[in-house]
Amino acid sequence: MVTTSTQARPAATDLTAPGRRSRGSGPWSLPEVRWAAGALVLFVLGGIAHLAGAPAPVYWALYLACYAVGGWEPAWAGVQALREKTLDVDLLMVVAAVGAAAIGQVFDGALLVVIFATSGALEAFATRRTEDAVRGLTDLAPEQATLLAGDGSERPVAAADLEVGDRVLVRPGERVPADGRVVDGASEVDQASITGEPLPVDKTSGDEVFAGTANGTGVLAVEVDRPARDSVVARIAALVEEASATKARTQLFIEKVEQRYSVGVVLATLLIFAIPLLAGDDLEGALLRAMTFMIVASPCAVVLATMPPLLSAIANASRHGVLVKSAVVMERLGTATVVALDKTGTLTAGTPTVVAVRPLLGGPCSEADLLALAAAAEGPSEHPVGQAIVAAARDRGMELPPARDFRAQVGRGITATVANRTVTVGAPGSAVHSGDAAITAMVEEEQAAGRTAVVVGLDDRSVGVLALADRVRPESAAAVRALREASGAEPVLLTGDNPRAAAALAATVSVTDVRAGLLPQDKVTAVRGLQAGGHRVLLVGDGVNDAPALAAADTGVAMGGIGSDLALASADAVIVRDDLSALPAVLRLSHRARRLVVQNLVIAATVIAVLVTWDLVGDLPLPLGVAGHEGSTILVALNGLRLLRRAEWTGARRG
């Protein structure tokens, strides 16, 4: 028989949140970020010198330094692409920048370099964050385990070396080292990181436990039934990586367009230079026409036509507590056709709260007396239920008498002496006189409503019931209605919690499609099922258990206040203030940004087509070409910046 050990050691290292170690490496550790920042600084200095009337060699030197600092990486990438017999926009932009400098338009070239260097830095930073967060999953499962030998002896081993059939000892406060089943002992296990359940789950012989979950106050002997590489927590990491790779393949179409566009512009520029030269035109005239074509045909205006509306929407959303990680995500948010929601920590606050105090009718306790007695007895408790009861009493301003002779029994509850009377607070099946018909009826009513019921006993009789539940966020019901309107489809609830609790929550917030009891891989399956049905899925979640589904969804949104590091890294957007009502506003802002992008692309494409045609069939003066190109760029940029206005967010909130 496993007994509680007085040598239980704290597992401070094991309790470190996933990904915590990776935060020491900030964006400045990435060379792409440093090069982009250097190019931007040189570009700004060059612009200031240019506007201030400094000698031409001064601002030319600054602009050319910007070329070197920000352009060497895309230039090298272009050279590497040429070695593989491909041509991409990176090289095209470098050639366009050099061509612009060759005909005296060094400012245009430097601007292209800065834009491309910055986009490369953002991509590198996003990639680093995701990789670090996935690696941080190893913090969930402990590196060491206590192996139980056949003769009863104990020895430490690496958790990765555990094999199916091994038995390990899990002391209070430690994390379970491997997936398995309890063969001896009893304890409560916090498995929120895997299932999302807000309360610890009692575990006894025969119950399944997962690697990385936190043991409570008891001691467990666990028989390993999966190797470390196949544990649920390991599969979470694999699923995140797999889903991220799948999502990256959607960029193949863009790469094909980029290749064809690059080849087309380069060939056209060479022809525009060579044909007039062969026809007898002078070298300077042919070069001027070709470089003018290179400038007016460059996608700089198209890039700026797309980015300002999306970046303005991102900035506006961030001011109101929603962090959207990229312009691509902002655009994709508006395409969602169904919204899937996690329960614990998303629609609810993620912590248990006393929602009902029910003294026995005709019993010795009033409602206030019942809560005060239970809270006083639970005072020394470290269990979340006990802490919630104490918090409820303090919120009501109650003065709690001291308790003595406190005893906790795993899976049953606690006993303490309060005002010289014995008070018990425990599970319905183990409470004193739990067979009382009135008490049984109250317990069944609360459990039918999806709540956790505990029975309070005074001396030798039960005197009442306390009901606890994960508190629904006040904005959840309105947010669900708004998301239904924004997406045009019924929201879906995906949760690891039990069906009864899920159904009770769904009824409160008016969700009709409920899928409960889901493990992380089940949530991924549900998301992919919706996608197979033709939906573009937006998933909202907060925990490690939500991370694979967040990565698999077309768009993932994490709750930032209580969200795990991996969920935040896997998600495409983060609700920083945990205000779910901000999400429908962001969806509407995305719709508005997408409309402005279309407007801007039409303007930019029209101007480029007109200028290119003029250069090909007429004689487009270089100053007019530059003015038209830059003028259209400024026009579409200003059009996109309209989304920075506070009124845009206010309008989005109203719907």
Inside any domain, residue 271: yes
DSSP strand pairing (537-541 vs 338-341): parallel
Q: What is the pLDDT of residue 531?
A: 94
Distance CA 627, CA 629 (A): 6
- Residue 56: count other Cβ atoms within 10 Å of its Cβ: 11
Inside any domain, residue 496: yes
For residues 27 and 57, membership in a common domain is answered with yes
Whether 342 sits among the annotated catalytic residues: the reply is yes
Confidence of residue 327 (pLDDT cuts 50, 70, 90): confident
> Could you tell me the strand order of the sheet in which 461-472 lies?
348-359, 461-472, 452-458, 421-426, 413-418, 403-409
pLDDT at 459 over 80: yes
Burial 517-529 (b: 16+ CB within 10 A, else e): ebbbbbbbebbbe
Q: Is 337 exposed, middle or buried (0-12, 13-18, 19+ CB in 10 A)?
A: middle
- Residue 34: count other Cβ atoms within 10 Å of its Cβ: 14
- The CATH number of the domain holding residue 335 is 3.40.50.1000
Helices of type H across 488-519: 499-509
Give, in degrees to the nearest 5, the angle at Cα 77 between 74 and 78: 85
For residues 466 and 478, membership in a common domain is answered with no
For residues 487 and 572, membership in a common domain is answered with yes
Confidence of residue 22 (pLDDT cuts 50, 70, 90): very low
Q: What is the pLDDT of residue 334?
A: 87
Inside any domain, residue 430: yes
Inside any domain, residue 442: yes
Q: Average pLDDT of 157-185?
A: 90
- The CATH number of the domain holding residue 411 is 3.40.1110.10
Q: Domain range spanning residue 563?
A: 322-348+473-585
Inside any domain, residue 253: yes
For residues 174 and 54, membership in a common domain is answered with no
Average pLDDT over the chain, rounded to whole? 80
For residues 191 and 150, membership in a common domain is answered with yes
Distance CA 205, CA 222 (A): 9
Q: What is the pLDDT of residue 11?
A: 32
Inside any domain, residue 623: no
Inside any domain, residue 311: no
What is the residue-wise DSSP string for 358-420?
A: EEPTTSS--HHHHHHHHHHHHTT--SHHHHHHHHHHHHTTPPPPPEEEEEEETTTEEEEEETT
For residues 520 and 481, membership in a common domain is answered with yes
Q: What is the dihedral of CA 396, 348, 193, 148, to 10 degrees?
A: 50
For residues 212 and 336, membership in a common domain is answered with no
Q: Tokens 């960029």 sit at which residue?
A: 251
Burial 558-572 (b: 16+ CB within 10 A, else e): bbbbbbbbbbbbbbb
pLDDT at 293 over 80: yes
Taking alpha carbons only, the member of 6, 586, 22 closest to residue 316 is 586
Do the Cβ atoms of 216 and 190 come closer than 8 Å?
yes
Relative orientation angle of helices 283-297 and 89-102, to the nearest 10 degrees: 130
Q: Tokens 């998600």 sit at which residue?
A: 571
Domain boundary among 471, 500, 526: 471
Confidence of residue 446 (pLDDT cuts 50, 70, 90): confident
For residues 255 and 118, membership in a common domain is answered with yes
Q: Average pLDDT of 648-654?
A: 78
Q: Minimum mean pLDDT among 63-77, 340-354, 625-639: which range?
A: 625-639
Inside any domain, residue 615: no
For residues 269 and 126, membership in a common domain is answered with yes
Q: What is the pLDDT of residue 513?
A: 93
Q: Minimum mean pLDDT among 49-58, 556-565, 620-629: which range?
A: 556-565
Confidence of residue 547 (pLDDT cuts 50, 70, 90): confident
Domain boundary among 585, 601, 620: 585
Confidence of residue 14 (pLDDT cuts 50, 70, 90): very low
Q: Minimum mean pLDDT among 23-32, 460-469, 528-537: which range?
A: 23-32
CB within 8 A of 583, min separation 6: which ones? 322, 479, 483, 540, 557, 575
Confidence of residue 20 (pLDDT cuts 50, 70, 90): very low
Taking alpha carbons only, the member of 139, 142, 185, 137 closest to residue 9 is 142
Q: What is the pLDDT of residue 318?
A: 74
Beta bridge partners of 147: 155, 168
Q: Minimum mean pLDDT among 27-41, 280-294, 470-484: which range?
A: 280-294
Q: What is the pLDDT of residue 38?
A: 92
Distance CA 342, CA 543 (A): 9
Domain boundary among 585, 606, 641: 585
- The CATH number of the domain holding residue 171 is 2.70.150.10
Distance CA 231, CA 233 (A): 5
Most confident of 283-292, 383-392, 555-564: 383-392
Burial 3-32 (b: 16+ CB within 10 A, else e): eeeeeeeebeebeeebbeebeeeebeebeb
Confidence of residue 499 (pLDDT cuts 50, 70, 90): confident
* Rg, Å, the chain Cα set: 32
Do the Cβ atoms of 333 and 437 come closer than 8 Å?
no
Q: What is the pLDDT of residue 88?
A: 63
pLDDT at 90 over 70: no
For residues 108 and 251, membership in a common domain is answered with yes
Phi, psi angle pair for 80, to nearest 5°: -60, -40
Confidence of residue 279 (pLDDT cuts 50, 70, 90): confident
For residues 462 and 492, membership in a common domain is answered with no
Taking alpha carbons only, the member of 494, 505, 198, 462 closest to residue 353 is 198
Distance CA 289, CA 578 (A): 56
Q: Which residue among the candidates 108, 139, 342, 572 is catalytic per the annotation?
A: 342
* CA dist 606 → 289, 610, 614 (Å): 20, 6, 12
Q: What is the pLDDT of residue 277?
A: 85
Do the Cβ atoms of 532 and 526 come closer than 8 Å?
no
Cα 31 off chain centre by: 25
> Could you tell me the strand order of the sheet in which 573-575 lies?
322-324, 573-575, 555-559, 537-541, 338-341, 492-494, 513-515
DSSP strand pairing (180-185 vs 220-224): antiparallel
Say how many domains are in the chain.
4
- Helix (H/G/I), strand (E/B), else coil: 341: strand
For residues 163 and 196, membership in a common domain is answered with yes
Distance CA 341, CA 483 (A): 10
Q: What is the pLDDT of residue 300?
A: 62
